[in-house]
Amino acid sequence: MASEPEALIAWFKALPFALARIGLEAGPLSQWLYAGLKEAGFGVELLETRHVRDAFKSMPVKTDRKDAHRLALAPRRSLCIAQLMRLGWFRPVHCKSVSAQETRAVLTARKLVQGKLYDIEMSLRGILRGFGLKVGRVTKAGFASRIKELTEHHPALSAIAKALLAVHEVLLRELNGFEKQVRKHAKGDARVRLAMTAPGVGVIVGLTYVAAIE
């Protein structure tokens, strides 16, 4: 079933009646759909998933008829949400702006690359340690040179190191690119600069906090 904003907007506009408001349960696509429907002029509310579940559980069931109605709706989550919207038993969730989502995406990608770079370094250290070769303390810039130095007279280890260092080089380059990107972003955001005046708050923490709180 088509679920892109354009498809939903066309379907809603084709209905023979006006819509008071639309309830969207928070999920992977909800922010994308919310932005599209909001831009099209619809009244949209973003609902927190756990709150939807808990609110529906708290609906009073005092008669057999209501009990049967509740059981009939339970497997059909869309009808549950419609009922909550009609009754007003919901708390709207803030939908993050596109800029905040982009910032979080950059931070997530940076953290992923940073983690993989760390994995490569630890793997190389572990492999060489098994042969009595200790890397020791080295700078980021001197890591590759140290590995090459240790594996110089070990053909098998040298081949392994060459492959992993090639990956390491790419990851290091991309991580440096992300670092420049986040610093530039932080420098251009007055809110982040304000957060960074607090002791111990740097670029990453500042951007993460602002993107989360907006």
Model confidence over 69-93: pLDDT tens digits?
Answer: 555 554 456 677 787 888 777 777 7
In this prediction, residue 210 carries a pLDDT of 94
Which parts of the chain register pLDDT below 50?
74-75
CA distance 182 to 114: 14
Place of tokens 């070769």: 133
The secondary structure of 2-25 as a DSSP string is: --SHHHHHHHHHTSSS--S-EEEE
Place of tokens 């060489």: 128
CA distance 65 to 75: 17
DSSP3 helix / strand / coil % (the chain, rounded to 5): 65, 5, 30
Rg (CA), the chain: 26
Q: What is the pTM of this model?
A: 0.74
**Residues β-bridged to residue 44:** 22
3-state secondary structure of 62: coil
In this prediction, residue 190 carries a pLDDT of 95
In this prediction, residue 94 carries a pLDDT of 80
Q: Output the CA–CA distances (angstroms, integers) from residue 18 to 6, 35, 41, 43, 156, in the order listed.
A: 18, 20, 12, 11, 72
Longest CA–CA span in the chain (Å) reads 83
